Structure 1
Amino acid sequence: MTVKEGSHDPIKKKEKPIISPFPLYKHYPSRFEQIVYQTYNGVENRMWPVRPLYYGMAATAIAAYHWRNPSNYLLNLLPQTENVMLETLKITVLSLGSAYIPVFVIRRFLKHFYFSYKGFLFDNPKKPSITTRIWGIVRAVLSFCPPRLQSCERLLPTQPVPNLQENVAKYLESIKHIVGKDELDLITEQGEKFLKEEGKKLQMYARLYSLFTTNYVSDFWRKYVYLYGRDPLLINSSVAHVDLFRDAPAMRAVRAAHVVAIESLSQMAIHRQNYKPLGDGLLCACHYDNMYAVNRVPGETIDNLVNYGTSNHVAILLKGNIYKMQYCDDRGKMYTLDELTKIFDELFTRAELEPQNGPLAHICALTSDRRDQWHQNRRRFFLENVKNKKALEIIESAVFFFTMDEEDDWDYEANHPEKLDNFMRNMLTGNGSNRWADKSLNYIMNKNTRCGGTTEHSIADGSEFDHIMENFVYMDTKVFSYKPLEEQQKLLSNGRFAKEEGLKLAEKLQIDLVNAEMVTEIERCRVTAMTAGQDVDMATTVYREWGKGRIKKCGCSPDAFVQMAIQLAVYRDQGRFVFTYEPASVRFYRNSRTETLRTVGEESCQFVKAMEDSTKEKSERIKLLKKACEAHVNKNKDCMIGKGIDRHFFVLYVLSKGFGISSPFLETIFSQKWFLSTSHVPNVTGQIDEDKDIDFSWIGACFGAVTKDGYGICYRFAGNHSICAHISSYHSAENTDSHRFQREFIKALNEMAEMFE
């Protein structure tokens, strides 16, 4: 068939319609409106998949029947009275209860079958079991009544406490290629004693505790791993990200307006529960509430997360000053992109005339201090000063903290990788005084409009961060696409338009230098944070030879393949196998976070040794690689169904401390440091076709190495065309070098792929 020029090509894929991932609200809700929709959401979340409207209709119909038939069997079972009010109440309660019976039955069925069943993870997709097919039919039926963000939260099962004996055996298996024989024998002896003695009692306590909480791990995890931590948040706890391969050309005010508009809408969508849940509600979604307008308040011994609900302003750091900028007017009308652009234009013009110099320009440095010291300074310099306390409240209640950086050399250029290294490192560390480290989310934009961010990790984990970022990218590139630069320029007039139209301008926060000690503390914190940032050794990798598509053709899981490449690289870099951490999702359970996937095992070590053995044939290496990848996938599935090792032992360790029980086995486990900390950033929405729109591929994220002599590696697949992997370590460590590891990693990827040619 010949297709004439200009005619429709029947083979060509249809363009996906551009649909916003959340509503484009025009109005900021009043307090009354918030109460109304929160009440409705609370009712719906307790009734889904039945809508409150249908339940109300059923209850009304039943009540009408009882009024028309006052002598029916059900009413006769209840005491009869002559009081009209009591009779009305009786019929109302009976009608509401009767209408809820089918709702209750449906929800029990969903809770104990649909949400509890995990067999589909292990079935052959081509020949699923009968149970899996039934489960699939239920899922198809539920698609006609899609849940809201947290509609399924109460239906998710509680995370199970794993079998103690199995987990001890798994742990010993995971370390046998890492520790020496004498140490392994000692730990094995400790494990056997643990099973016979203190382990039984601690396991019983864990099972009892799990009966009285939504998740036996999560509260302990957030409290003892994050909130009790006294180290500075930046680098040690925070996660950073950068934007796309190439951003659309935009004026600085226009790009800033996009960031504020998108994130304010995203915040409101989460608060209203209009965010589409991942996995159609199969995955836990309770931690989304902590993404915006949340502040980690420092304490002397433990921090506290304060959630301000939905907020109508952002805090902006520009030229050393901090500003409050509302994204709506005083009557709640949301500003358009053009109006926000004009407000930013006025702010940039004004800031050029009133830059902040001296200690106050570095006020944010105080938040980068150790948590106990920042707790004291926060009280002395802010809470005890009326003006500073008011400014602090505005900053801490903001949707996010937005830094306008003065650098202009952040970028991704294949021929100048040092630009991306600097970009990513700056997102993680800041410059010593340009992050409000307590905020759940910091956005940073430089003069050339490159944008990234820093996220406080105690609030949530990777899946929430990924979801937020993918929605941001889609909104920024598809829904709110940029106008030509000529049209953008027409909106800018040195702030004149914003003033003429009566828009609410950004308000400069007034902060006083309380005393000389405050000046000293600001400078100390700035220098300390800057020194820590300069110690970070960052090697960003955008591997453009191929992506996950080629790995799938090799018959391997893309994540497992990259993990084996990392194992091969670290073995060559360090000459040994090391403790390796990869987070695995346990989102199938209520109020869940992550589990540790221990990458090192018998299969991975055999593969690495085969790659280093010149006598091994290519076919044998391929066989061992596939076996190692399969083992990795199976470990991941075990973690997904609550059979992981480390969170279980973590809870037992916390309980042992709480009950004063000595456990040499648990002490040994938690004295072992994760030399290699890795994380895979998955694509959770699939909204952007990264093979078609290569420039719209997200470069990814990074985090600091967990140990001072180790590595941190964060990677993602940019469609089928690239692998983005960002490696961090510390210059002060003599045994690590991020760029050296980067070379070994790329070499490993190439060697492994070439085996399949």
Structure 2
Amino acid sequence: MAEAHQAVAFQFAITDEGISLHFDREAVKSALRSYFRGHGKKILRLRAAIYSGVFPASPVSLVVILALVTGLWLAGYDLSLGVFPALLSLARWIGYSGTYLTIIFLLSYSIFLWTLFSYLQQFTLKLLLMYKGFMFEPRGKPSLVTQLWFKSVQIVTGRQRPQLYSYQRSLPRLPVPRLKDTCRRYLQSARALLNDDEYREMEGLVKDFQEGPGKKMNAYLYLKSWWANNYVTDWWEQYVYLHGRSSIMINSNYYACDNSGFSLTSLPAARAGLICHIQARLKDKIETERLAPLVSNGIPLCSAQFERTFGTTRIPGIEADKLVHRPGAASNHVVVYKSGRWYCISLYHKKKLLTPVDLEWTMEQIMEDSDAELRPGEEHLAALTAADRKSWAEMREKYFMTGVNRTSMEILEKAAFMIMFDDLEPSLYVENGDNTALTQYCKSLFHGNGYTRWFDKSVSVIIYKNGKLGINAEHCWADAPIVGYNLEHSCTLEHTIGYRGDGHNKGEVQYSVKPRRLEWDLPPEAVSRIEVELATAQASIANLDLYVLHHDMFGKGVIKRMGISPDGFIQMALQLAYYKDTGGSFCLTYEASMTMLFLEGRTETVRPVTVESTTFIRAMCNPDSDDKERKQLLQKAVDKHSLLYKLAMAGKGMDRHLFCLYVISKYLKIESPFLAKVLGEPWRLSTSQTPAQQTGKLDYNNNPELISPGGGFGPVTEKGYGVSYIIQGDYHIYFHVSSFKSALNTDSARFANLIKESMSDMRELFLDSLQK
């Protein structure tokens, strides 16, 4: 009907009195809306590119500069230093004259000055953002220098509302640390784990490297840092992720959880419809830069990782994988998996985003089609993404690059994200300390049954039979903060929009867009290979030992009353738990910190095992030590850990620097015993804190039902633990502990309970002060 209405928007007739023109105002408005729907995104992207390109300058400043230049010109002042008169004389000599030339010159010169002004603002802001001294001052007690610095940042940025990538041009690049500083910090970290003889040997290796090939390698790294946006990130993605040849299920991918309380609906099709709609809106906001940039305590963080949230797939390769990102209209659809069948759903109809109730209707059509005939190999197809990367690459090249298989694979890989319907009905509720249901839910998110997760996709949303959901994410494109932000943003908006009383989405169906069933034509040998890979994947799943602990005895509120950093307290508890678990030993421990204060920054390693931490742990297990001594030693250990964490965030970490030096050594074909030893050390305890409340829109203390248990990842070594934790509000901490059953020295449930015990032991040190 809209097309017919637009057809009669304009009517004209030629009469004796001339041309008679009539038009329907509403029809014209409808036609204009149709036009702008089709071209609005292009206009918004162009506007965003210009806006971010000149930020923190603004269009208003262009008007001011134009008015100033014009006013001074009319008053007889030439700001062009003679350029204007010379150009006007040249134009008259050629034969052009008129005031329009003056207008063009004034406008062009104003734009030139405005561009120069914007670059000056960006450069000034970049210089200001290089300052990191505020990080090393007591919280809430900034120095005069920091106060002046923060005020200067506010003045330079002005009162504008920045867009997603507005700060990118002003963020400083990650600095290359001095070689001697990295070597010194490494020896400090190694001292706690080595005996005297081992330490003296390591000192010799460090000295030989620092005075030998290290200087040349670091010089090459400095050269790279001058032209690369970030001297670490591209190599980190390539060699840590894309060159990995083992399965990415469990070994690389990670998961993020739904809120632990009530669900607004128990209807999977309804929740899938609304979440799809919200994700599509988020995709549009990212691509048009209308999403607010990440900011921490008023300081901008790099937002580059948001770019590949949607429309991104990891493509397997023989020697290395590729990360392929398809923005815009190329990825305006989702692929849905239900009961072994694959479907494609368009998110738009006639360039208009489908409403939640429209998408719910489409999801219901998939539900009703769940009894349709399965094609050979279709149900277990996703098991290929759980295979080792070389095997999957060979299979993809041999069986999925021709005919209907190629068409279906292209649709799948170009999708904005995946929706995977799961027939389980999980519960996140923990009652009387029983974490079994929560653990089973997290295991399902992490790997499913080996064929119900497409592990190559940047984001796969898992929708369960009772309406619960979660996310399985590929790791190469971004780190946990981005996926956590996505889930928090989606659940917050979901509660704002809401559902009808019967659990369905609000409104009436406007567009009944039917899903498209993807077709597969796989020969018997391909089907057999799929079954082999499925068996391998399920063996890996059976070997995973995952346990999730909800710690609600006390949380951040109590730890802060102790006068201790919550993260430092938890890291010391992890060290104490490991010491107990192994009967009195320490191990090389990894804690991830972010470097997003720098352009394209991702993560850096903090090494929590220090001389101070090991001294405290031994005192905790020594019956001859008293609580006063233990408290003092704990404070020293936490202070040292906090310093190391801040140094890592400030670009003064050592592990990414050592990693890049190792890459350089391979390029230059220089053998370094020191680098080989450092990069070959296993991280038997790998830890990471999941950020919470990134959107600033959730109050977990007053709305505990909205708390998410966070997410988790797998162990990075065969005989080690992976521990992810999230601090939610003042009362809740969740620990996700992973290990392998084949490692006879580990047990995830045992270790989780030792964490709980260790935190309780450390709290006992402060009972007197906490009871006041």
TM over 0.5: yes
Aligned to 2:648: 639
Aligned to 1:55: 62
Match of 1:123 among 137, 151, 162: 137
- Tell me the secondary structure at the aligned position of residue 190 of structure 1: helix
Contact 2:707 2:728 in 1 (8 A): yes
CA deviation string 1:506-538 (max 9, x = no partner): 11111111x222111111111111111111101
The residue correspondences of 1:557-572 to structure 2 (distance < 5 A) are: 557-572=565-580
User: How far is 1:35 from its partner?
Assistant: 3.1
Aligned to 2:536: 528
Match of 2:225 among 198, 204, 210: 210
The residue correspondences of 1:146-225 to structure 2 (distance < 5 A) are: 146-225=161-240
User: How far is 1:139 from its partner?
Assistant: 4.0
Aligned to 1:437: 455
| Distance verdict in 2 for CA 1:98–1:140, change over 3 Å | closer
Match of 1:488 among 495, 504, 509: 504
Match of 1:95 among 110, 132, 153: 110
Report the more deviating stretch, 374-383 or 738-747. 374-383
Contact 1:293 1:399 in 2 (8 A): yes
- Tell me the secondary structure at the aligned position of residue 378 of structure 2: helix
How far apart, in 2, do the equivalents of 1:413 and 1:44 lie? 48
Contact 2:122 2:169 in 1 (8 A): no
User: How far is 1:209 from its partner?
Assistant: 1.4
Contact 1:540 1:725 in 2 (8 A): yes
With the length of structure 2 as denominator, give the TM-score of the two structures.
0.89
Contact 2:168 2:302 in 1 (8 A): yes
| Distance verdict in 2 for CA 1:214–1:487, change over 3 Å | closer
CA deviation string 1:282-317 (max 9, x = no partner): 211111101111011111111111111133211100
User: How far is 1:689 from its partner?
Assistant: 0.6
User: How far is 1:663 from its partner?
Assistant: 0.8
Paired residue type of 1:596: T
Aligned to 1:300: 318
User: How far is 1:618 from its partner?
Assistant: 0.6
User: How far is 1:195 from its partner?
Assistant: 1.1
How far apart, in 2, do the equivalents of 1:410 and 1:143 lie? 47
- The RMSD of aligned alpha carbons is 2.3
Paired residue type of 1:325: I
- Tell me the secondary structure at the aligned position of residue 665 of structure 1: helix
How far apart, in 1, do the equivalents of 2:687 and 2:725 lie? 8
Contact 1:560 1:633 in 2 (8 A): yes
Aligned to 1:579: 588
Contact 1:319 1:355 in 2 (8 A): no
Contact 2:418 2:459 in 1 (8 A): yes
Aligned to 2:726: 716
Task: Point out where structure 1 has 5 or more consecutive residues left out of the alignment.
Answer: 1-25, 492-496
Paired residue type of 2:761: E
Pair 1:729-2:739 in alignment: yes
Contact 2:376 2:527 in 1 (8 A): no
Contact 1:28 1:332 in 2 (8 A): no
User: How far is 1:68 from its partner?
Assistant: 9.1
Aligned to 1:16: none
User: How far is 1:208 from its partner?
Assistant: 1.6
| Distance verdict in 2 for CA 1:449–1:357, change over 3 Å | farther
The residue correspondences of 1:255-274 to structure 2 (distance < 5 A) are: 255-274=271-290
The residue correspondences of 1:633-672 to structure 2 (distance < 5 A) are: 633-672=642-681
User: How far is 1:228 from its partner?
Assistant: 0.9
User: How far is 1:467 from its partner?
Assistant: 1.8
- Tell me the secondary structure at the aligned position of residue 211 of structure 1: helix
Match of 2:431 among 414, 419, 423: 414
- Tell me the secondary structure at the aligned position of residue 289 of structure 1: helix
| Distance verdict in 2 for CA 1:711–1:69, change over 3 Å | same
Match of 2:372 among 354, 357, 367: 354
Aligned to 1:342: 361
How far apart, in 2, do the equivalents of 1:487 and 1:625 lie? 51
Aligned to 2:307: 289
How far apart, in 1, do the equivalents of 2:163 and 2:140 lie? 31
Paired residue type of 2:697: Q
With the length of structure 1 as denominator, give the TM-score of the two structures.
0.91
User: How far is 1:265 from its partner?
Assistant: 1.2
Aligned to 1:615: 624
User: How far is 1:165 from its partner?
Assistant: 1.3
Match of 1:397 among 414, 419, 427: 414
CA deviation string 1:164-183 (max 9, x = no partner): 11211211121223234433
Paired residue type of 1:402: I
How far apart, in 1, do the equivalents of 2:69 and 2:254 lie? 54
The residue correspondences of 1:55-74 to structure 2 (distance < 5 A) are: 55=62, 58-59=65-66, 62=69, 73-74=81-82
CA deviation string 1:575-600 (max 9, x = no partner): 31001001111111111111000110
| Distance verdict in 2 for CA 1:440–1:281, change over 3 Å | farther
How far apart, in 2, do the equivalents of 1:676 and 1:28 lie? 57
| Distance verdict in 2 for CA 1:489–1:315, change over 3 Å | closer
Match of 1:324 among 344, 348, 366: 344
Aligned to 1:277: 293
State percent identity of aligned pairs: 31
Larger radius of gyration: 2
Paired residue type of 1:128: P
How far apart, in 2, do the equivalents of 1:63 and 1:393 lie? 56
| Distance verdict in 2 for CA 1:397–1:56, change over 3 Å | farther
Pair 1:691-2:701 in alignment: yes
Paired residue type of 1:418: T
User: How far is 1:204 from its partner?
Assistant: 1.2
Aligned to 2:717: 707
CA deviation string 1:321-343 (max 9, x = no partner): 111112221x1222222222222
How far apart, in 2, do the equivalents of 1:304 and 1:413 lie? 41
CA deviation string 1:361-380 (max 9, x = no partner): 11111121111221121111
Aligned to 2:748: 738
| Distance verdict in 2 for CA 1:521–1:60, change over 3 Å | farther
How far apart, in 2, do the equivalents of 1:74 and 1:689 lie? 61
How far apart, in 2, do the equivalents of 1:77 and 1:224 lie? 59
Contact 1:403 1:435 in 2 (8 A): yes
User: How far is 1:320 from its partner?
Assistant: 0.6
Task: Point out where structure 2 has 5 or more consecutive residues left out of the alignment.
Answer: 1-32, 768-772
Contact 2:719 2:745 in 1 (8 A): yes
- Tell me the secondary structure at the aligned position of residue 686 of structure 1: coil
| Distance verdict in 2 for CA 1:49–1:343, change over 3 Å | same
| Distance verdict in 2 for CA 1:487–1:440, change over 3 Å | closer
Report the more deviating stretch, 646-655 or 32-41. 32-41
- Tell me the secondary structure at the aligned position of residue 244 of structure 1: coil
User: How far is 1:64 from its partner?
Assistant: 7.9
How far apart, in 1, do the equivalents of 2:624 and 2:412 lie? 63
Aligned to 2:8: none
How far apart, in 2, do the equivalents of 1:42 and 1:336 lie? 28
Paired residue type of 2:699: D
Contact 2:376 2:521 in 1 (8 A): no
Contact 1:421 1:539 in 2 (8 A): yes
| Distance verdict in 2 for CA 1:59–1:554, change over 3 Å | same
Contact 2:343 2:518 in 1 (8 A): yes
| Distance verdict in 2 for CA 1:50–1:221, change over 3 Å | same
Contact 1:539 1:739 in 2 (8 A): yes
Contact 2:430 2:550 in 1 (8 A): no
| Distance verdict in 2 for CA 1:71–1:698, change over 3 Å | closer
Paired residue type of 2:757: K
Aligned to 2:52: 45
Aligned to 1:18: none
Aligned to 1:460: 478
How far apart, in 2, do the equivalents of 1:398 and 1:28 lie? 25
How far apart, in 1, do the equivalents of 2:743 and 2:679 lie? 22
Aligned to 1:137: 151
Query: In the comparison of the two structures, how many residue pairs are matched?
Result: 718
Report the more deviating stretch, 409-418 or 203-212. 409-418
